[in-house]
Chain A
Amino acid sequence: MVALVIVLALLFDFTNGFHDTANAMATPIATGALKPRTAVLLAAILNFVGAFLSTEVAKTISGGLINEGEAGLVFGPELIFAGLVGAILWNLFTWLLGLPSSSSHALFGGLIGAAIVGASLNAGSLDFAIINGGVFVTKILIPAALAPVTAGLVAFIATKIAFAITRKRERDGFKRGQIFTSSLVSLAHGTNDAQKTMGVITLALIAANMQDAGTGPTILVIAACALAIAAGTYSGGWRIIKTLGKGITDVEPAQGFAAEAATTATILASSTVGFALSTTQVASGSVIGTGLGRKGASVRWKTAGRIAAGWLITIPAAAIVSGLAALLVSAGFWGVVAVTVAAAAAILGIFLYSRRNRVDHRSFHRPEPGVFVAPKQRRAKKPKRPPKPLQVKSKQQPKKSSKKKKSKKRSKS
């Protein structure tokens, strides 16, 4: 059981990494400040380093959200297992939809669901008192409402400043700045998010008497978590990067820099003061704010609305999945087997479904200026013969066949 929890925790860490690549790297990729592969590699390295930098691990995974201990619920490996199943499945589902939703909220939602079912089974009737409502409101609900508003406001003003000071031809220089600001976001993410998984694994180990109570995570656990989050980051949640970088608004380098600066400043300010805002929500708010700040830029409110709806249902949805899992797990050994099989099937299903319309780093190919000018003139002269497929100069497209297909499509339209 402990082994299963550890595997699932690492899997959650992986989904966390790949869900949150977008927070730091969506705007640099969208503006072309960094090539897509370079960007995810940089983010992966910084996340890996970040995981080692911070050793503060949350003593309780739930942070007081669930009434644990003598009077409340004993959070055994079974319930952690159920909570992780819900969190992972919800993370993958939102990734499939390309929605930037908070991984921490998914984890909290999962644990809440598992805790409610666990407590209800103990008491014999529905028991919601296990959840500390005050903590829920102050630590999750209000920050979730304020994070995008704060970041949006800051990004809005920062964008105004950037456009007021610089002239048009100077604005390409912001691309270099973007590299630094987005790196800061990645590093901050690594120091915060890998800790959660370390906390979960350490708790499971302590519960199984494989580690002394009151000790921190061993170097093996830290390394495993760092590796999992880095691998997840490197694999890149391209769907979410696409939504955040291109779906909400069209980002220019100056906007990208302003948005990244706003994201970094908001995250650092909040974590220093003592309540952590969700990186995802801050980053999304910044992108919306910067879209409002540039004259002539439009914000696609439909996409923004979908994202907000995703945030609203993250906690209940993850809670329901985890609740069901916890119900099954309580049936004993075969329940655990059933949940494992069902979760594996769901993950496989989501993965297979995602292959039907792939979104990967090639989706962010930026044509060199001038490359696609030639075919238009040719078509005007000889309308019947399709022009020769263009040789697109790009390192990002290793396959020849895909190159031809793409350029044909372009020249026809």
Chain B
Amino acid sequence: MTINWGDFVTVIIASLVAACLLVTLFSLGLRLGDGEQPWRRPASVAMFVLCGLLVAIGIFLIVPALHSAVLG
């Protein structure tokens, strides 16, 4: 009976980083979309686009046909 503790640690760190990144980007997008200054709006849109990118990575990981070639 071997327990792969390294895998568990990887999962915890990976999910922590991914979730926090997504939440930070989305929150920043909301926060920047709120102000009056002209530079805020494009910055906010950029944050949401990055969020969309993360979601795309998520879909990439879900669909086996997409990731099987890369991850094996």
Contacts and interface: CB of A to CB of B under 8 A. Distances in A.
Asked if chains A and B come from one complex, the reply is yes
Interface of A: 50, 53-56, 133-134, 137-138, 142, 146, 150-151, 153-155, 157-159, 161-162, 165-167, 169-171, 173-174, 177, 180-181, 184, 187-188, 191, 254, 257-258, 261-262, 264-266, 268-275, 277
Contacts of B62: 50, 53, 184, 187-188, 191, 268
A165 B65 contact: no
Interface in B4-51: 4, 7-8, 10-12, 14-16, 18-20, 22-24, 26-31, 33-34, 51
Interface of B, secondary structure class, is helix
A272 B61 contact: yes
A275 B16 contact: no
Contacts of A171: 30
A150 B12 contact: yes
A272 B67 CA distance: 10
Contacts, number: 131
B30 A173 contact: yes
A264 B3 CA distance: 24
B58 to A, nearest CB: 5
27 contacts: A53-B63, A55-B64, A150-B11, A151-B15, A158-B19, A161-B20, A161-B27, A166-B30, A166-B31, A167-B31, A167-B34, A171-B30, A173-B29, A177-B26, A180-B51, A184-B55, A184-B62, A187-B59, A261-B18, A261-B22, A264-B19, A265-B19, A265-B22, A269-B15, A272-B14, A272-B67, A275-B4
Contacts of B16: 153-154, 157, 265
Given A154-B15, A184-B59, A162 B64 contact: no
Contacts of A264: 19, 58
Interface of B: 1-4, 7-8, 10-12, 14-16, 18-20, 22-24, 26-31, 33-34, 51, 55, 58-59, 61-65, 67, 71
